[in-house]
A = this chain, B = another copy of it.
Amino acid sequence: MTTETARVEAFSDGVFAIAITLLILEIKIPAPGSGILSTQLLKQWPSYVSFLISFAFIGIMWINHHRLFTYIKRTDTILMLLNLLLLLMIVFVPFPTALLAQQYRLNPNLRAPALLWNGTFILLAAFFNLLWRYAAHENRLLDKKADQQAVEAITRQYRFGPLFYVVSFGLAWISVPASIALNLFMAVYFAFPGRKPRSPRDFPPAL
């Protein structure tokens, strides 16, 4: 954390932390007197799954944000605006996730909420790319001593993000479960840093 990006990181940490913590508000205590407690709790399982998935996605996006800002060491107005766009989507993630969980209980046809959920990740991946490419273009805002291979590894890993999410969006028209599964796979893919170009022996990725 340099002096210059310290507040951008602190503000972003705050937004990530609040967004991830507010998720618990969606898990309600069962109303009294409506049956056996354990049955009531088990019936809420889509809420728990929604909570876990939102928590994992926001957490992994925080790891990615943290990773980018180990290289980004300067800031300007455009970077702050791009960062706000990214945070806008982070704050939004719990809404389509909770909607998907709610619809699961109501409606055999999950296509509409799955598309909204997936569409959120297309935008998120696009905004991550925008932020990174703006900062990394000719090392505009990067640490002057940044490891060029690591920088390129991020660029390469991120390039495929929007593409995969678009594929997943299309897949939802054929099979909603397959589309959701591909989204979850992408989360795991982005949890770990990209492979550096010239050190193939580093795979599985050096942590």
Q: Using Cβ atoms and an 8 Å threshold, which residues of chain B touch A192?
A: 77
> Is the Cβ of A191 less than 8 Å from the Cβ of B38?
no
> Is the Cβ of A106 less than 8 Å from the Cβ of B32?
yes
Given contacts A77-B193, A207-B76, contact A55 B18 (CB under 8 A): no
Q: Does A181 make an interface contact (CB < 8 A)?
A: no
> Is the Cβ of A87 less than 8 Å from the Cβ of B11?
no
Q: Which of A151-186 contact B (CB under 8 A)?
A: none
Q: Does A112 make an interface contact (CB < 8 A)?
A: yes
Q: Does A49 make an interface contact (CB < 8 A)?
A: no
Q: Does A146 make an interface contact (CB < 8 A)?
A: no
CA distance A153 to B16 in the complex (A): 33
Q: Using Cβ atoms and an 8 Å threshold, which residues of chain B touch A20?
A: 15, 87, 91
Partner of A3, one of B1, B18, B56: B1
Q: Does A69 make an interface contact (CB < 8 A)?
A: yes
Q: Which of A71-91 contact B (CB under 8 A)?
A: 76-78, 80-81, 84, 87-88, 91
Q: Using Cβ atoms and an 8 Å threshold, which residues of chain B touch A78?
A: 207
Q: Does A95 make an interface contact (CB < 8 A)?
A: yes
Q: Does A149 make an interface contact (CB < 8 A)?
A: no
Q: Which of A121-170 contact B (CB under 8 A)?
A: none
CA distance A59 to B91 in the complex (A): 13
Q: Using Cβ atoms and an 8 Å threshold, which residues of chain B touch A9?
A: 7, 10
CA distance A99 to B18 in the complex (A): 23
Partner of A24, one of B16, B91, B106: B91
22 contacts between A and B (CB under 8 A): A1-B3, A1-B7, A7-B13, A7-B66, A11-B17, A11-B66, A14-B21, A15-B17, A19-B24, A21-B22, A22-B22, A23-B91, A24-B95, A25-B25, A29-B98, A29-B99, A32-B102, A37-B113, A59-B81, A59-B87, A76-B207, A81-B191
